[in-house]
Amino acid sequence: MVAVDLFCGVGGLTRGLEEAGIRTTVGIDVDPHCRYPYEANTDAEFVEEDVSELPSDRVGDFFGETKPRILAGCAPCQPFSNLNNGEDTAEWDDWALLDEFRRLVWDLEPEVVTMENVPEVRNHQVYSRFVDALFKLGYDISSELVYCPDYGVPQKRRRLVLLASKYGSIELNEPTHDPDDHPTVRDTIGNGAVEPLKSDEESDTDRLHKGRKLEEINLKRIRQSVPGGTWRDWDEDLRLDCHKKESGSSYDSVYGRMKWDEPAPTITTQFYNYGSGRFGHPEQDRALTLREGAMLQTFPEDYEFVDPDEDVHLKKVGRLVGNAVPVELAKSIGNTITEHLERNDVTATTTR
């Protein structure tokens, strides 16, 4: 079997599929910054293209002559996120990329399709069109809302996982972890997994493990913060003006510390910013480092995100990490596909 990864980013989905035994030939993404991490950490080729401009027959060529073919991808989820506060996102360029995914499925009819996205994508017509096309093409389809700690991801992240197959019924495998066995922040970045750092201190061995410098007022705030607490734990003079207004009083998670013995909050593209969520380290006076965020996304500790000859740019790498599919979730998706094919006695063939 062979896969093509649409909107591949830095390779979280490809890496997980590979760990499940699925060979990916090509990952496609419009962002040139994804090339180095994708090719340095997977066995696939990176193709820098806009999926909306890719002819279907070219994508078909990426599969080669092997079947079954797996078309996988996570179209950019920002247009569908609940963080948009009700804004009409239908005119965003990214919104239509799921239609391009649908176009490729319609034209190529790969034997297996998988798509991962935010749960809110189900509320949009573009998703309904995607599912309707799969039905018309004769796929068996399942879609599940997944709580990521159930699949070994130490984040309170919820995602939609869609699977479709030409070979019969396919559903995501049962969870790999029970609620009392969910991976935690401590399991992932504690117990000596990474060295302790102060604000603005950098590891001697890992350029991605560097604490972002906090201003003096934020150092005072984080020193008064307790794991799982809120800004209400601070002295009055440290509170932001917005928190003193009724409209801002419900924003409890910003400027918060994580808890050691729970999964982390969802890792966003701003996880390195203390004020963007509950991204304060459980006991060190700083926010998460790029490396810690990547580890909470279940990337291996040695995953390379930046060419050794290039500088590390905080915002760029933070965006790449936050947008990625967690590797462990991708691995569970891959295991589901391989076991589904085995149950249906599907063997690899070539079209020669």
Across the beta sheet with 2-6, what order do the strands follow?
A: 45-48, 23-29, 2-6, 69-73, 112-117, 158-165, 140-147
Q: Where are the beta strands (DSSP E) in 154-259?
A: 158-165
Tell me the CB-side half-sphere exposure of residue 319, using CA atoms within 13 A: 9
242 is catalytic: no
Nearest C-alpha neighbor of 214 from the set 271, 165, 272, 268: 272
Tell me the CB-side half-sphere exposure of residue 148, using CA atoms within 13 A: 29
**Token pair 């750092």 in the structure block, residue:** 197
Q: What is residue 176's DSSP assignment?
A: S
Catalytic: which of 34, 74, 77, 148?
77
272, 259 in Cβ contact below 8 A?
no
CA distance 59 to 8: 14
Amino acid making up residue 75? A
Residues catalogued as catalytic: 77
